[in-house]
Homo-oligomer: A and B are copies of this chain.
Amino acid sequence: MTIPVSDCELRDPRQKRTRRLLQDALRKLLQEKPFEAILVQDITGAATLNRATFYDHYPDKFALFEAMVGGEFLELLKKRNIRFDGTCSSAIEAIVLAVCDYLKEIHTNEKQCANQGVFGPMLDSALIRAIRIVVLEGLPKRAGRVGVSHHVVASTVSWALYGATREWFYSARQHRTAEIASFVASIVVPVIEAAVGKGQGAFSRARRQTDTGSEQNAKPS
């Protein structure tokens, strides 16, 4: 319990419930106050948890936010049966669309502005991490160019994908998500091909939904 492991699948149902309560509480509070104005004790109060218990799961409220956003986004991908197993641009487009939809939803629910305060950067960081996880899961299936770590490739792809998507999304083109997706894919696919080789892999929409845990959890410490 004193170990804030980053484990994705927690064994003890009390821990799952606690993290769910904390994330639900933060989600609710974000509809009322800006992130900066939310205290740890506000979160634990709304979650009907003790303040000390918070620190058994997350080092600070930033980690909780990241876990919440990452978890929500990966859940969205799971619902849409989006999974990585290659480099096909259709899967890239699906991820981009998911990012656009998630950003749209965030900015209608939360009364936060992405262009001021810590909210925007934190959101970016959390989403990039989540995208990186998805990309990393798909990469090891293909042999990459020697000397290029999968981690580096995954990071590059996730940053490029999100950076391009974000730029388009916030440039008053929120309504033309299909156009964004197609453009971003045309930029990102070459990045992947350059790193892992061309014409071998393919992104694809997953055929069947399997019981793959996709919860996003606390930082390792």
Give the residue name and chain of the B residue nearest to A50 (CB). Answer: B13
| Contact of A48 (CB < 8 Å), options: B17, B48, B49 | B17
The winner among A13, A16, A48, A49 for most chain B CB atoms within 10 A is A48
CB-CB contacts below 8 Å: A11-63 with B: 13, 16-17, 48-50
Give the residue name and chain of the B residue nearest to A20 (CB). Answer: B48
Q: Which residues of B contact A16 (CB under 8 A)?
A: 48
Q: Which residues of B contact A49 (CB under 8 A)?
A: 13
Least CB distance from A58 to B in Å reads 19
Q: Which residues of B contact A17 (CB under 8 A)?
A: 48
Give the residue name and chain of the B residue nearest to A13 (CB). Answer: B48
Least CB distance from A47 to B in Å reads 9
Q: Which residues of B contact A48 (CB under 8 A)?
A: 13, 16-17
Complex Cα–Cα for A49 and B48 (A): 16
Give the residue name and chain of the B residue nearest to A47 (CB). Answer: B17
Least CB distance from A81 to B in Å reads 26
Complex Cα–Cα for A50 and B17 (A): 12
CB-CB contacts below 8 Å: A198-216 with B: none
Complex Cα–Cα for A49 and B17 (A): 9
Q: Which residues of B contact A50 (CB under 8 A)?
A: 13
Complex Cα–Cα for A50 and B16 (A): 13
Complex Cα–Cα for A49 and B16 (A): 11
Complex Cα–Cα for A13 and B44 (A): 12
A-B pairs with beta carbons under 8 Å apart, 5 shown: A13-B48, A13-B49, A13-B50, A16-B48, A17-B48
Q: Which residues of A contact B (CB under 8 A)?
A: 13, 16-17, 48-50
5 nearest CB pairs, A to B: A17-B48, A13-B48, A16-B48, A13-B50, A13-B49
